[in-house]
Structure 1
Amino acid sequence: MKEKLHSYFSCLMAVIILFSTTSWKVEKHYCMGHLVDVAFFVDAQDCGMDMSSNSKEIAKVEKKSCCDEELIAFEGQNNVKPSFNDFDLEHQRFLITYIQSYIGLFVPSSEKRQSYVKYIPPKIVKNIQLLDAVFLI
């Protein structure tokens, strides 16, 4: 259960980082009020009814185009890596202490040598505690 929860959480964090660092762009092209094209990450194709402006038409009053474009953009983060230069002395002390205590968890403990492994205790003939009326409370 713990391994599955850990893998789900790590996948969720990877997806969150992916979405927070990616720039998104949705562009929509409308022609006469009707949606013609929707494009993700690229420019939307026009309907081909754009008014071409010649040099003679520049002098005339510009006519309003029948086409509209809508752009929805989201700029992602560019600086995801933390900078270790921003830590002051107190943060550095805490980080060093935490790392040393964490590394200390994985030091193999030496097994205590038992000298009485081959010692066989004597057989109990009578219950001495009951005879002496000595009980542990």
Structure 2
Amino acid sequence: MIKTFIYKTFSASMALLVLFSTVSFTVEKHFCGDVLIDAAVFDTAEKCTSDSYELKAAMDCCKDTIGVIKGQDELSVKTFNDLDFDQQLFIATYAHTYLNLFEGLPQLVIPHENYSPPNLIFDIQILDQVFII
């Protein structure tokens, strides 16, 4: 029970690690002065849109910052010919044994398959009063 739970947890965490290591995204932030107005991950950040005189005066010092978090771009893909001879031999042997592992069993021969028992005319055990105890 615990072994399957650990196995499934480890498998899920490795899948998430691969997913998050290859995903890249941007974080966009909008500042008015030193005040953070909006931050967005998948959308554009909201700008300062107010009619007040103070914010219009502060519009000159508004700035947008964009932080890019890059994932892994280069994934190495190896073909069978890129491997050493020992690795190729191991993979070929493993594939051969795995594919031949699940061969079907020969059909079982049942010699009395078409045999029909004789009709019972008398129950001999009852007539002779012989019972298995």
Tell me, yes or no, if structure 1 residue 73 matches structure 2 residue 80: no
**Alpha-carbon distance in structure 1 between the residues aligned to 2:66 and 2:88:** 45
Aligned residues of 1:28 and 1:38 also touching (Cα < 8 A): yes
C-alpha distance in 1 between matches for 2:66 and 2:31:
11
Aligned to 1:13: 14
- Counterpart Cα distance in 1 of 2:6 and 2:99: 24
* Contact 2:80/2:88 (<8 A) preserved: no
Hey, what does 1:61 align to over in structure 2?
A: none
More helix by share: 2
TM-score by length of 1: 0.53
Where structure 2 has 5 or more consecutive residues not aligned to the other structure, the ranges are: 51-58, 105-133
The TM-score, its normalising length taken from structure 2, stands at 0.55
The 5-angstrom pairing of residues 1-137 of structure 1 reads 1-48=2-49, 65-78=60-73, 80=75, 82-84=77-79, 87-90=82-85, 91-102=87-98
Number of residue pairs matched by the alignment: 96
Residues 85 and 96 of structure 1: CA distance in aligned 2, closer, same or farther (over 3 Å): closer
| Deviation at residue 107 of structure 1 after TM alignment | 6.7
Distance in 2, Cα, partners of 1:9 & 1:99 = 25
Cα RMSD (Å) of the superposition?
Answer: 3.2
Which structure 1 residue ranges, 5 or more long, are not aligned?
50-63, 109-137
Given that 1:27 and 1:69 are in contact with CA atoms closer than 8 Å, whether structure 2 keeps it comes out as yes
Aligned 8 A contact 1:25 1:42 in 2: no
